[in-house]
């Protein structure tokens, strides 16, 4: 839990606050945008929750925060945290869930859980936190863990030891990671029915996306939605391998069909297929001149 003595003065008065240990991962801002914003290089509460939906989102952000930098002062909110923790993994649609419990070792990256008929999938690694482990066990455990790239692997070894899952990552990002399956080359790879790995190098040499059911695209740090630009974009200032390769990998996604973009870092996007396709075109044009 956050430390009231470190409460940032930028916070609005009231129950919820951010303290000065915030690492500016932005998780709380996309999870509860009616409550948190960026101020002075960190997050802060700009408006206290005004209804149940905003309160629920803010409590989930408390649980997701990788550094326990968000606090609450009211007993009712403290009591609500247990319920918020138990709400993860939180279903977005069609068996696709947000895991919450972001890890500081992944700089607060989001991870996802897919309930799948052939076996469940964890996309990138959340914190190995007891409430989440218990819920995932109740949902049938994990058969595959797909790691989008080397940065967001967090507690992958603990999850693999607990559930005996097969870890899948591109070989060129696998140094120091004991993955069971290391993929090579540029070819797509089908994990199971409707689950396709698409190599998208650039952010790192071995970055890859996972397309599920022609509807959900899990993108790691390759692609996210930009609040500032108003369309999909890639991380120009956090490109660790090669920007021209990022652009080519973005072009590869233009012909794909999906409605959801679920990134590790940055804002997710959910829109109809035509709108997402339009934004992919905008993204490529923007990236070619960035």
Smallest gap from Cβ 109 to ligand SF4, in A, equals 11
DSSP state of 267: B
Q: Identify whether the C-beta of residue 96 lies closer than 8 Å to the C-beta of residue 132.
A: no
Q: Which of 250, 255, 130 is nearest to 201 (CA)?
A: 250
Of the two residues 193 and 227, which places its CB atom closer to ligand SF4 in the complex? Answer: 227
Nearer to ligand SF4, 67 or 87 (CB): 67
Minimum CB distance to ligand SF4, residue 186 (Å):
34
Smallest distance from the beta carbon of 63 to ligand SF4, in angstroms?
10
Strands 70-72 and 181-183: unpaired
The beta strand positions in the chain, using DSSP E, are 16-18, 36-39, 42-45, 70-72, 90-93, 96-98, 112-114, 121-123, 144-146, 166-170, 181-183, 189-192, 195-199, 208-212, 216-220, 224-225, 232-233, 260-263, 269-270
- Residues 8-37 close enough to bind ligand SF4 by CB under 6 A: 18, 22-28
Nearer to ligand SF4, 65 or 246 (CB): 65
Least distance in angstroms from the C-beta of 122 to ligand SF4: 20
Shortest CB 34 distance to ligand SF4, Å:
14
**Distance of closest approach, residue 25 Cβ to ligand SF4, in angstroms:** 4
* C-beta closer to ligand SF4: residue 206 or 266: 266
C-alpha 54/C-alpha 50 separation (Å) is 6
- What is the footprint of ligand SF4 within residues 84-143 (CB under 6 A)? 108
Residue closer to ligand SF4 by CB (options 108, 201) is: 108
x/- track of binding to ligand SF4 for residues 168-207 (CB under 6 A): ----------------------------------------
- Sorted by sequence, the CB contacts under 8 Å of residue 36 that are 6+ apart come out as 18, 28, 29, 43, 44, 45, 46, 58, 61
Q: For residues 58 and 80, is the Cβ–Cβ distance under 8 A? A: no
Neighbouring C-beta atoms of residue 266, cutoff 10 Å: 24
Neighbours of 154 (CB within 10 A): 25
Interaction residues for ligand SF4, span 36-95 (CB under 6 A): 43, 65-67, 69-70
Residue 18 or 280 having the CB closest to ligand SF4:
18
By C-beta, is 22 or 84 nearer to ligand SF4? Answer: 22
Q: Which residues lie near ligand SF4 (CB under 6 A)?
A: 18, 22-28, 43, 65-67, 69-70, 108
């Amino acid at each position: 839990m956050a430390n009231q003595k470190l409460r940032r003065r930028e916070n609005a008065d009231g129950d919820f606050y951010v303290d000065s240990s915030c690492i500016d991962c932005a998780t709380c801002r996309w999870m509860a945008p009616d409550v948190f914003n960026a101020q002075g290089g960190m997050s802060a509460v700009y408006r206290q929750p005004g209804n149940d939906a905003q309160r629920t989102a803010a409590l989930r952000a408390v649980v997701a925060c990788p550094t326990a930098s968000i606090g609450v002062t009211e007993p009712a909110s403290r009591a609500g945290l247990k319920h918020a923790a138990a709400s993860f993994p939180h279903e977005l649609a069609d068996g696709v869930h947000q895991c919450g419990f972001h890890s500081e070792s992944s700089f607060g990256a989001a991870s996802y859980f897919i309930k799948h008929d052939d076996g469940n999938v964890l996309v990138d690694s959340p914190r190995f936190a007891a409430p989440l482990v218990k819920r995932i066990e109740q949902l049938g455990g994990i058969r595959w863990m797909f790691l989008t790239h080397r940065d967001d692997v967090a507690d992958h070894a603990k999850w693999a030891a607990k559930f005996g899952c097969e870890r899948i990552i591109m070989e060129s990002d696998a140094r120091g990671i004991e993955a069971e399956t290391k993929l090579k080359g540029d070819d797509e790879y089908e994990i199971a029915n409707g689950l396709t790995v698409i190599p998208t190098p650039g952010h790192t040499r071995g970055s890859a996306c996972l397309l599920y059911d022609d509807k959900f695209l899990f993108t790691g740090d390759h692609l996210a939605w930009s609040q500032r630009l108003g369309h999909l974009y890639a991380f120009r200032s956090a490109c660790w391998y090669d920007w021209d390769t990022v652009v080519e990998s973005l072009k590869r996604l233009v012909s794909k069909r999906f409605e959801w973009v679920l990134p590790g870092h940055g804002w997710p996007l959910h829109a109809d297929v035509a709108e997402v396709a339009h934004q992919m075109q905008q993204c490529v044009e923007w990236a070619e001149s960035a």
